Amino acid sequence: MNKAPLLSISNLSFHYPGARGNRNTLERIELEIFEGDRIGMLGESGSGKTTLSLILAGLERPSTGLFLFNGKRLLGRKAYRDYRKKIQYLFQDPMEAVNRYRKVFEIVSEPLTYRKTKKEAIVSIVSELLKTVGIDPLRWHDYPDQLSLGQIQRVCLARAMTTNPKILICDEPFSALDVSNCGKMKEILLQLNANHGVTLFIISHEPKSLFKLCQKILVLHKGKIIELIDTTRGQHAQHEYSRKLLEINTT
Amino acid sequence: MIKVEGLTISIKKKAQTYALLRDVNFSLEQGQTLSLVGESGSGKSLITYAVLGMLNHLEGLEGVVGLPGQKNVLRLSSKELRRFRREQIGYIPQNPRECLTPTLKVGSQLTEVIAVKTDRSVRAGRLIARDLLQSLGFPDPEKVLKMYPHQLSGGMCQRVAIAMAVVSRPALVVADEPTSSLDLLIKQEIIKVIKSVQTEQGFALILVTHDLDLAFNCSNKIAVVYGGRLVETGTAHNLSNKPRHPYTRSLVRCSSRTGADKSIHYIPGEPVSIYTRFKGCRYFNRCLSRLEICETREPAWVNLGDGQVACWHYGRDEST
């Protein structure tokens, strides 16, 4: 089982330009992501969750440190552009992430039209994905306003999957949803992970859902990874801070 | 005591009447907390708007909302309403940052609210603001008063909003998803703050949430809303341990609290739209234990002593 990691990050630090005293938002991050992994990230607001996810998405570049994709270092604009094609991002607020003046089917097929996919191929890919995420064919020509929030979130998920990404980064995918929609979303994510082999990177501040979904959970505190919990081995939190986070949830 | 009886809201659209809320009943003692839970779009927020007297202009508004010293909030004139809002109620919003004016300092906004609500001068208001913020857990209130909302964190904004809501010692405070935009540690802190103010002032609290754990942990009563109707009410203890209505059961299972349980649950199907006309139980299509009668007749509101439920599984054979 000695696979090479899909993505490996070592000694990565990051500071935003103009940060006071070049204070690092992220410090000495070490991370390896293998293909098909389900990784969760836990941390309170301001801990650097979003910054790390932006770096993974190729939208920010690390200040120092090594960032390898498929064993190759990403250098220059072209490398980043190619890298970004293999990553998709699912946003926190689904309503903000879609164009309200487009129909569901158009929203999902948009990434494909930019990639000059043939029309018949688009129809088959999009139909299949919309079925996978459980959107009734009757609703395919509705506008986002006519759908519930949970349904729009699933439409966004279908859109993210059209380009067959290697990694799907989900930024707080459950925080806008109610319990039932949450469960549905989790099941679909697991299904996509199993059938399409997409690597999931899920950011959340809700430990409960992460424990159900993920194999590994990173705990981020003040820009540092303080703990990596392996849930498959039934490992429990060791660090005091992560224990505190988990305790709140159970009481 | 807060009493809501037969609250119904219907709107006319294309010569058809649609009921947004139907026959909502609940009561709440002073100092107690009621949580309204349900899926998005079920009408949780709408109930609170009606209770706060924000829907009094609607034609299809029926029922009674009684508060201490008020016979029916729904029949207040606009002048009485202003007085009612100033003195008797407080509202804690979902997104506190959006409810504060970004161009004014926290101090001037808070002082203005206090001056209006307590009929005092601005200078006296500022002193009250300072004491209030201190009691809400700000170590240095003077500094906070001089800051702009964008300089505060989400949790701090929420505490300022709480200060605005409770300053007039209201009889009823409504908190609409007060913690959904906050992270775990701050969420806990905010709930603690709200609870401690409640013990001090003794107001009744209506908490709107879809976080069942939160509802179970910090409320006395819970009302489950589905498709604009209450389907079950009861004490938090009863609802979490033996939910009666099939919908409540599914909801409780969806948010199973044990972290070790890796199975994922959800309620199949989509919630009903208010525009679908339906003779029977609104939960019929998604219900796992439906009966024949459920499709054709709407279940009545059955009182079971320690709770109420609207389901055909109860009440019919209660005598046996």
Under 8 Å CB-to-CB from B204, ≥6 apart: which residues? B2, B28, B29, B30, B31, B32, B33, B34, B171, B172, B173
Question: Mutating which of A135, A180, A214 best tests the B interface, going by the most B Cβ atoms within 10 A?
Answer: A180
Q: How confident is the model at residue B319 (pLDDT cuts 50, 70, 90)?
A: very low
Q: Where are the alpha helices (DSSP H) in chain B?
A: 44-51, 78-87, 96-99, 106-118, 122-135, 141-145, 154-166, 184-201, 212-218, 236-241, 246-254, 293-296
- Could you report the per-residue pLDDT of B22-50, keeping only the tens digit for each? 899 999 999 999 999 988 888 888 999 99
In this predicted structure, the answer to whether residue B201 has a pLDDT above a threshold of 60 is yes
Contact B259 A184 (CB under 8 A): no
Return the residue of A nearest to B217 by Cα.
Answer: A251
Percent of chain B with pLDDT over 70: 96
Backbone angles phi, psi at B171, to 5 degrees: -85, -25
Determine the residue of chain A that is closest to B186 in CA distance: A44
A161 with A198: CB under 8 angstroms?
A: yes
Contact between chains at B180 and A175 (C-beta distance less than 8 A): yes
ipTM score: 0.74
pLDDT one-digit tens code per residue, B96-114: 888 899 999 999 999 999 9
pLDDT in the model for residue A223: 87
Inspect the interface and report whether the beta carbons of B254 and A182 lie closer than 8 Å. Answer: yes
pLDDT band at B256 (very low <50, low <70, confident <90, very high): low
pLDDT in tens, A120-174: 999 999 999 999 898 888 889 999 988 888 889 999 999 999 999 999 999 888 8
């349904």: which residue's tokens?
A151
A/B interface, count of CB pairs below 8 Å = 80
Distance (Å, rounded) from C-alpha B144 to C-alpha B142?
6
pLDDT band per the 50, 70, 90 thresholds, residue A43:
confident
Predicted pLDDT of residue B266: 82
B66 within 8 A of B72, measured Cβ to Cβ: yes
- Please list every residue in chain A whose beta carbon sits closer than 8 Å to the beta carbon of residue B154: 45
| pLDDT (0 to 100) of residue A231 | 81
Task: Identify which of B5, B88, B6 has the alpha carbon closest to the alpha carbon of residue B52.
Answer: B88
How far apart are alpha carbons B39 and B254 in whole angstroms? 11
Q: Does A180 touch chain B (CB under 8 A)?
A: yes
Q: How far apart are CA A83 and CA A31, in angstroms?
A: 18
- Asked whether residue B184 carries a pLDDT value surpassing 70, the answer given is yes
Evaluate whether B34 touches B221 at the Cβ level (below 8 Å).
yes
pLDDT > 60? residue B317: no
**How far B56 CA lies from chain A's nearest CA (Å)?**
26
Whether the predicted pLDDT of B320 surpasses 50: no
Residue A250 has pLDDT above 90, yes or no: no
| pLDDT for A242 | 81
- The rounded mean pLDDT for chain B is 87
Strands A167-171 and A199-204: parallel
Flag whether pLDDT at B18 surpasses 50. Answer: yes
Contact A226, A239 (CB under 8 A): yes
Q: If interface means Cβ-Cβ distance under 8 Å, which residues of chain B face chain A?
A: 38-41, 153-154, 180-186, 188, 210, 212-213, 217, 250-251, 254-255, 257, 259, 261-267, 270-271
pTM of whole model > 0.90? no
Which of A63-67, A187-191, B93-97 has the lowest average pLDDT? B93-97
| Lookup result for tokens 């044990």 | B258
Separation between Cα atoms, residue B133 and residue B243, nearest integer Å? 40
Question: pLDDT value at position B318?
Answer: 47
Contact present, A51 and A99 (Cβ < 8 Å): no
CA B111 from chain centre, in angstroms, equals 26
Contact across the interface for A183 and B257, Cβ inside 8 Å: no
Contact at 8 Å (CB) between B120 and B127?
no
pLDDT tens across B164-177, in order? 999 989 999 999 98
